[in-house]
Structure 1
Amino acid sequence: MIDFARVQKELQECSRDVEGSGIRVSPKSDNLSCLIGTIPGPLGTPYEGGVFQIDITLPDGYPFEPPKMQFATKVWHPNISSQSGAICLDILKDQWSPALTLKTALLSVQALLSAPQPDDPQDAVVAQQYNRDYQTFVGTARYWTETFAMRSALGVEEKVQKLVEMGFPEALVKSTLEAVGGDENLALERLCS
């Protein structure tokens, strides 16, 4: 059984430190077992300037079992599937401890962006590029970050206007954009589903 009191505490801890860490975690709906995490791309990496969304599902055994995490934002990285967003990280598997929190797990994922482990890849194609042609890897990772993880140059009002013109109610558009951190594409996906 998920310890929902602990999950609430962890969400509060994350929201208190958003300014410092840039890491956010919020419920996708009323169900606290389905969350969305947001991490900023680490400085000095091809992911810098990007904001990455991570789907988090808490298993019944949480916090004694690790949360299930996968990137919702497409990312070019040897330890993250470019197709499914699956993450190859030990603390999300056999190295999990109940002493860890959602925030520490997201910090570890963010650290993984800074320090790829191409010898233990989740995506063999990306790992091969990383090892054989590092400059092309950096260029591709940067391109994917700019394409999928950077907030659109449109301001919030323009995004709201654009989505309202598609026939969605303004209040729903605003709350959906807020829930997905301003990502227009994710907001459209949610509004359509």
Structure 2
Amino acid sequence: MSFTSTAWDIFSKSVEDYHNNDDIDFPINNPYEKGSLEQLLYAKNWIDTVQWHLEDIIRDENIDPVDALKLKRRIDASNQQRTDLVEYIDSWFLQKYQNITPKPDAKINTETVAWAIDRLSILVLKVYHMNQEATRESASDEHRAKCTEKLNVLLEQKNDLSQGIDFLLEEIEKGNVKIKTYKQMKMYNDESLNPVLYQKSKN
């Protein structure tokens, strides 16, 4: 079984588990061994799934502005958690492949393994929700047909992205691609780098 097939199954389980309650405040119950890659993948998708629904809620035109601000802060925090976990997953792969010496002409990929996995996690959510719309009985035939077309494109994207990730891992293992990561140097959360925050602290 390929890595991406396993990851897709774990992400799908997370999405299904979330929708058993469909509650943004329902606590995660990660079924995998702590510290394992499976546990990290499940936790990653759970963050994505909760944030997906937070993004839905905040787009309600009638939402109370105070509640919207609270949600925005929560989404910001969720984004930071997501970034931190992606970097942690990258560290997991760095350790896994630490004994592989890249060839002198080894290439650098445009994104790290974990950021590619991040896209796969989001894609699981897109497939799940598009399938809901494609089969929603209360929707029109036209709506379901359009959503079915979009679902087919997403499933094609799943195959392409999965092949790309599995190929990347194979190339890393062969020494053809150098595994290298950079920490996300986000500035807007840092009081010493965000002008709005550090100018405010001087007043």
Question: What's the TM-score, normalizing by structure 2?
Answer: 0.26
* Higher strand fraction (1 or 2): 1
Higher relative contact order, chain-length normalized (CA < 8 Å, sep 6+): 2
The structure having more radius of gyration, on CA atoms, is 2
* Higher helix fraction (1 or 2): 2
